[in-house]
Structure 1
Amino acid sequence: MLTISELASYAGVTVRAVRHYHAKGLLPEPERDHSGYRRYGAGAVVELIKIRTLAEAGVPLAYVRELLRADVKEFTAAIADIDEQLRQEILERMRHRENIARLTTGGNLALPSELIEFLDQLRALGVDERIVQIERDGWIPLCAHSPERVPEWVARKRQQIADPQFVDFYRILGQALDQTNDDQQLAELADKLAPYLSRLADERGDDYLNDVDVAPSFAKLMDALAFDAAPPARRLIELLKKRGWTGWTKLERVDSRVRKASS
């Protein structure tokens, strides 16, 4: 008969592991003998080696008892199921690693790779970094809200920034951020921006500017993010409203009656 230390040694595990397998109900725990020690038979060594082999192969302990009692057919089927589960876990971990690798900086948190590339394109075109950051922060809730639409929206954005006129629009917005307390200069920018937007819309259609079709309430949330990050942007949009355009996330023409009321 073997002590627990001898059993562990012959099976190639620790005493702690033996006790853990007892607690999990995988290895029967013998009664204590007259001297107060538990004694194990030779069969316990074989059983313990089987448990160790399954555990080291990656079989969850919850399945070990079932496998120890299974016949050949049941064992094969169970192993196939476990293998598929492990394969799915590996794929999930690989996806996690890919996501972590994309998070080279905290600024790209919660953004898909195609959107990170789009933001890098804006930088390469000379768009003010503050505008890029506002654009990024607006996309974070948008990606969470409608992830299935993101590829479509990003493709449309890429089409837009291939147009030098649209890139100029981004640059004008960047200039507005420098006019913190100068309402006159913001008004001059609005005077420049309004006819420019009208010309773009006349040439390409209003949908060319109103490119992210989300609910008005969600657009307001995204506008609030932009205005909190860049207060001059809020004032610029107020001035634009008097000149026929409104909205940051959803650029739209203003009805002439609304324009008169806001003047």
Structure 2
Amino acid sequence: MLTISQLAAYAGVTVRAVRHYHQIGLLPEPERDRSGYRRYGAHAVVSLVKIATLADAGVPLSEVADLLEADDDTFSKAVQRIDAHLRDEIARLERSRSSIRKLAAGDALLLPADVVAYLDRLRNLGIAGPVLDGERDGWILMAARWPDRIREWMPGKMASLDDPRIVRLYRVLSMLFDIDLPHEPLLVEAADLMAALAEEAYRQDHTTQQETRDDAVPFDLLELLALETDPRATRLVELMRERGWDGWTRLERIDPPH
């Protein structure tokens, strides 16, 4: 006769597992002997080995009791059903692993490859922190709304990084989050750069396609994203209005105040 510790060791499980099987009715719990110990015989060892084997194979404990009592045909059908379920679960876990690998790779889970390449280019230019995070989140908003348009836009966006003014704008915006630097001069420089770029695009009539012009929601969200990220964005909007431009992500020409 075996103690509970000896029984558990023989079957390769923990004492805690044996007690759990007792609790849920899978393994009968023997009476205590005169010394106050529970003693287990050969049948208990066989039952516990069966339970542990089925549990290790992925059979839910709620189904183990029925399998222990099943005839050969019923047992075979149940095992086939459980095997099919396990294959489905393995496929689900593989999909989860794929998603986790994408997360580990950075932005690839949420964004098209073209946008990921653009963000990597920004990183290589030294852009990081809240500005890079805001850029990524902005593209998430855009990709969710116009997933089929991203590929059309990205070559122009990538080419824009060859313009030193745009690179400087990104760097100035990044420096705004350095608490040791005075903010107003950087805000003024950012506004000057943005106004100059907007004026140039305006003269060249670089208009947005009608599809995006008619859908203001993503642009409203981008504006809100900037304002939620840092209160200094509000000051930058004020400076842009002084220069004759309204907005943040989709600038509109206005008459500057006198």
Query: Normalising by the residue count of structure 1, what TM-score does the alignment of the two structures yield?
Result: 0.68
Deviation at 1:49, TM superposition (A): 0.7
Return the alpha-carbon distance in structure 1 between the equivalents of residues 208 and 122 of structure 2. 22
Partner in structure 2 of residue 224 of structure 1: 227
Structure 2: distance between partners of 1:137 and 1:82: 41
Q: Secondary structure at the match of 1:173?
A: helix
Q: Assess if the C-alpha contact under 8 Å between 2:188 and 2:239 holds in 1.
A: no
Structure 2: 5+ residue stretches without partners = 176-182
- Aligned with 2:241 (options 238, 243, 248): 238
Q: Distance in 2 between matches of 1:6 and 1:175?
A: 68
1:10-49 equivalent positions in 2, closer than 5 A: 10-49=10-49
Shift, 1:238, TM fit: 1.9
Q: Aligned partners of 1:82, 1:183: CA distance in 2, in Å?
A: 58
Give 2:250's aligned residue. 250
Q: TM-score, normalised by structure 2?
A: 0.69
List runs of 5+ in structure 1 lacking aligned partners. Answer: none
How far off is 1:224 after superposition? 1.0
Contact 1:153 1:212 in 2 (8 A): no
Find the counterpart in structure 1 of residue 180 from structure 2: none
Determine which of 82, 96, 99 is the counterpart of 1:92: 96
Please report how far the alpha carbon of residue 21 of structure 1 lies from its aligned counterpart in structure 2 after TM superposition. Answer: 1.9
Cα distance, 1:28 vs. partner?
Answer: 1.7
Contact 1:2/1:39, CA 8 A, preserved across alignment: yes
Q: Does 1:160 align with 2:172?
A: no
Which amino acid letter does the alignment assign opposite residue 148 of structure 1?
A
Equivalent-residue separation in structure 2 for 1:39 and 1:175 (angstroms): 75
Higher RCO, 1 vs 2 (CA within 8 Å, ≥6 residues apart): 1
- Distance in 2 (alpha carbons) for counterparts of 1:133 and 1:207: 29
| Whole-angstrom CA distance in 2 between matches of 1:198 and 1:253 | 8
The answer to whether residue 131 in structure 2 is matched with residue 134 in structure 1 is yes
What's the Cα RMSD here? 4.1
Q: Is the 8 A contact 1:33 1:39 kept in 2?
A: yes
2:194 pairs with 1:198: no
CA 1:234/1:175 → structure 2, altered by over 3 Å: closer, same or farther? farther
1:84 Cα deviation (Å)? 1.8
**Residue aligned with 2:185, SS:** coil
